[in-house]
Amino acid sequence: MSEPGRLHPLALMVGVGLMVGITLQPQWLTTPAGEADHLAALLMLHAMATGLVNGVGFRPRHSLPKLVLGRPVLWLSLLAGLARLASLHGLF
């Protein structure tokens, strides 16, 4: 039997924050023309799921879930999603 994982408050806050934010303001994931931006949605929802998984302390044993749900991937997908949204809305 494996040891229980530790809670990671920052990852959990990112996951819950994205969950609430995207639920209340889904237009954040749209283009300026009002169409859904699927790449931004994919990146931000992946960051949300990874934040929730890591935040509650879940540790995958197999290599593929570790690769997809690892904490470094949380920050990469969050930064890539924010960069995508910034470029869509002309912030850089």
- Helices and strands (H and E) in the chain: how many: 4, 0
Cβ-proximal residues to 48 (8 Å cutoff; 6+ apart), any chain: 14, 15, 18, 19, 22
What's the token pair of residue 9? Answer: 């408050």
Q: What is the pTM of this model?
A: 0.89
Question: Which tokens belong to 66?
Answer: 């570790």
Q: Is the pLDDT of residue 3 over 80?
A: no
Give the C-alpha separation, 86 to 92, whole Å. 6
Q: Is residue 64 helix, strand or coil?
A: helix
Region 63-92 average pLDDT: 92
Query: What does the pLDDT read at residue 5?
Result: 73
